[in-house]
Amino acid sequence: MKQKFLPWFLLFCAIGLSATAAYYSVIGLSIVFAGVAIPVIVMGSFLEISKIAIATYLHNAWKNTYTLLKIYLTLALVVLSIITSIGIYGLLSTGFQENIAKLEIGGKQIQNIEVKKQRFEEIKTELEKEKTTLDKDISQLRNALSTNTTTQSVDRKTGQVVTKANNANRKSFESQLATTQLSKDKISNKIDALNDSITNLDIKILDMESKASEGNELGAVQYVSEITGADIKTVANWFIFMLIFVFDPLAITLVIATNQAFDRIKPKTNIYSEPKTIEPEPVVEEAPVVNPNVEIERQNLLREMQRVQNSGASSRKLGNAVIKLQNRLRGLDDNTKTY
């Protein structure tokens, strides 16, 4: 990413995140303090703007700010960040409470149907026991009807066994058998009706669970709750705390980072707000390093030249001697080395 584009991108993110955090915080605080919603909205809006101003000021004038003022502004920035987090928590927790209330209502409805189904199953179990008893009674009555409806006696004259029909016993057994069979049929009809009711309740429960699954907005929270074994409200609080932990602190950090990015691309100016010009460094010429021996000889030649000039010799001899000394002196200067 280009260096000139990065500060503007950071500015866009900082403004967007700060505005979002401020909006959610103000709305959340107005929900928490519903009785004074409008004053809370006005107060919260200016506090959020002041928070951005404090972060920018501390970044730009940290070295030039008094210590007590820096401490107070830093504490105010931290407290404002906590207030923003509380407002965001109030908003998110309110939304979660609405969803959890729907989930709990659906769960209670299903639980009530389960209780009703369990009661039907208990009644069905009792009726099945009673039906089993009636089946045994019917079986016994049928056996009695086949064996106890005749009487046997011995004829004294002939000595033969005489079997006679006992109509009274037969009628009694038939009456009991019919009554028992009728009771069994009634119980069977009740059991069938209970089976139909239980089946309808199962279908109703399945339909309610399907609708709850389709319209459930807490799917991820429920999934994490099932994995961790924690309560669904506890898991929801984990999610909310993670969001508010990075929401407002990240917004403040982006504001500071944006200031730093703009400082880096800002041209440097002098005390008169004029662009600074880079002056070339002056070139310092190094002095020649003279050999000490050459310097001593040079001084000797100069003294010799002065002595010759003061000797009073003829101008011709004097000129030749001076010229020789000058040539030797010039030779010394030409042989001087610079290091």
139 and 192: one domain? Answer: yes
Q: Is the same domain home to 90 and 129?
A: no
Are residues 238 and 151 part of one domain? no
Phi, psi at 275, each rounded to 5°: -60, 135
Asked whether residue 41 falls in the same domain as residue 125, the answer is no
Kindly report the average pLDDT of the chain as a whole number: 76
The verdict on 99 and 246 lying in the same domain is yes
> Do residues 174 and 201 share a domain?
yes
257 and 320 both lie in a single domain: no
User: Which tokens hold the place of 320?
Assistant: 């030749």
Asked if 99 contacts 218 with a C-beta cutoff of 8 angstroms, the reply is yes
Residue 201 lies in a domain: yes
In a domain, 112, yes or no: no
On whether the pTM is more than 0.75, the answer is: no
The percent of residues above 70 in pLDDT, for the chain, comes to 73
Q: Is residue 110 part of a domain?
A: no
Residues 146, 197 share a domain: yes
Find the mean pLDDT for residues 15-42: 83
- The total domain count for the chain is 3
Lowest mean pLDDT: which of 124-128, 191-195, 299-303? 299-303
Q: Does 111 fall in a domain?
A: no
Q: Give CA–CA dist 197/202, Å, rounded.
A: 9
Given a cut of 60, whether residue 280 has pLDDT beyond it is no
Residues 288-299: b if buried by 16+ CB within 10 A, e if exposed: eeeeeeeeeebe
User: Worst-scoring range by mean pLDDT, 83-92, 245-254, 267-276?
Assistant: 267-276
* pLDDT for the residue 35: 80
Distance CA 40, CA 48 (A): 12
In this structure, are 80 and 157 located in the same domain?
A: no
Same domain, 205 and 232: no
The answer to the question of residue 19 being in a domain is yes
Name the residue among 324, 327, 303, 298 with its Cα closest to residue 311. 303
Is residue 135 included in any domain, yes or no?
yes
Q: Which residue range(s) make up the domain with 190?
A: 119-214
pLDDT in tens, 65-90: 888 988 998 999 888 888 888 888 88
Please give the structure tokens belonging to residue 251: 């917004």
Q: Are 98 and 128 members of one domain?
A: no
> Do 26 and 82 share a domain, yes or no?
yes
Comparing 112-121, 126-135, 235-244, 274-283, the range with the smallest average pLDDT is 274-283
Residue of 237 and 291 predicted with greater confidence? 237
CATH of the domain at 149: 1.10.287
Say if 56 falls within a structural domain. yes
Give the pLDDT band of residue 285 (cuts 50, 70, 90): low
Domain contains 149? yes
- Tell which of 214, 243, 276 closes a domain: 214
Write down which residue in 183, 214, 245 finishes a domain: 214
